[in-house]
Amino acid sequence: MSYLKKHPTGKMKYSQTEIKKIMKNEKYPLSSRYDPDWIIENAMGAHTLWLQESLTREMNLKPDMRVLDLGCGRAISSIFLAKEFGVKVWAADLWNSATDNWSRIRETDVCDSVCPIHADVHDLPFSENYFDALVSINSFYFYVTDGEFLREKIFKYVKPGGKIGVIVPSFFNDYQDGYPEAYQPYVEPYNLNGWRTYNWWKDLFEQSGLVDIILADNIDGNEGNELFQKTACIYNIHETPFHIAGWKDITYSRIIARRKKDTPQQTKQ
Ligand SMILES: C[S@@+](CC[C@H](N)C(=O)[O-])C[C@H]1O[C@@H](n2cnc3c(N)ncnc32)[C@H](O)[C@@H]1O
C-alpha cells in the first residue's frame, strides 16, 4: 500500500484526521498510547516511538535497569523507555540541551527515572561497564566510523553481558558503486554516506571485538520501508529524494548485540 499523495509539488497535504489515523498503528500498541501532537512536536525526522518499540520488543528490558539512550534527540524515546519498562534512563544528546530535554521530562510522571545529559559521543562522561543496556535510534550513522570507534567510544560503557540495541536508516542493498542520480543532490543533506545495510552494521559491531550479535535485520521485512512512508505522511513531507526514487530501497535496520562476558574491563583511553 502506498501512503503517498500523488502530487509531486508538496501542495497536497494530509489532514489532521488522516494523520491521526496513520499514527494509530496497531503494530505499535505501546506508541499508540502517546499524544500524537507531542510526538510530532518533538520529532527529529522519524516517529521515534515506533522505532524504539520495534527495538525494545527484542531487548527484554527489566525494571530498574540502567539504560543509556544515546543520541536521544528530544528525549521522548527516553521517557517512553522509563514509562513502559520501569528502567532508569540516561538521555544523552549533542544537538539538544539538557535543559530543554529536562523541561520535557519534567512534564511527565517519570522525571525521577530519566536524567538528561548534554554529551558528545567522542567524550562520554560515564564510567566504563556502567549500563545494563544501551539503545540508540537514528543516531549511530552520524558518527560511528569503525569497529574501534564502537569499542573505545561506546560499547565499553555497557557492562559485560549487557545488551546494545540500535536502529539506523539504511538501504536494502549497499550503494558501493555510487548512488542513483536522483540521490546525488541529497547525499550531504541527508548524510546518505551513513546509510548502509544491516549486514554492514553487523560486521562493524563484530569488528569491535566486544560483542556477540543477537539480531541483525531490516525491521520486519518491508515494515521499515512502510514506516518511512508513513512518517513522511505524518510530517506532510512530499518532496524527498525517496519520493523521486519511488521509495523502493530504504528501510530501517536493527542490530542487537550482547557485550561479551570475557572482554577486559579496562579499555584504552
Ligand atoms: C536524527 S536525530 C535522532 C534523535 C532521536 N534519537 C530520535 O529518534 O528522535 C540524531 C541525533 O544524534 C545526535 N548526535 C549526533 N552527533 C552526536 C554526537 N557526536 N554525540 C552525541 N549525539 C549525537 C544528535 O544530537 C541528534 O539528536
Domain ranges across the chain: 16-78+121-259
Of 44, 56, 149, 227, which is best to mutate to test ligand 1, by the most ligand atoms within 8 angstroms of its C-beta? 44
The architecture that CATH gives domain 16-78+121-259 is: 3-Layer(aba) Sandwich (3.40)
Closest-CA residue to 69 (of 9, 113, 118, 133):
133
Distance 219 CA to ligand 1 centre (A): 20
Closest-CA residue to 84 (of 55, 118, 121):
55
Span 86-128, pLDDT tens digits: 999 999 999 999 999 999 999 999 999 999 999 999 999 999 9
pLDDT-derived band at 9, boundaries 50, 70, 90: very low
The ligand 1 atom nearest the CA atom of 51 = 8
pLDDT at 11 over 60: no
Distance 67 CA to ligand 1 centre (A): 16
Span 163-215, pLDDT tens digits: 999 999 999 999 878 888 888 888 888 899 999 999 999 999 999 999 999 99
Supply the DSSP symbol for 243. Answer: H
- Cell numbers placing 171: 538501504
Give the pairing type, strands 211-218 and 250-259.
antiparallel
DSSP characters over 143-168: T--SHHHIIIIIGGGEEEEEEEEEEE
The ligand 1 atom nearest the CA atom of 136 = 6
Residues with CB under 6 A from ligand 1: 44-46, 48, 71-73, 77, 93-96, 120-122, 137-139, 142-143
Instruction: Quote the Cα angle for 134-46-171, to 5°.
Output: 85
CB neighbour list of residue 160: distance below 8 Å, 6 or more residues apart:
129, 259, 260, 261, 262, 263, 265
The ligand 1 atom nearest the CA atom of 76 = 9
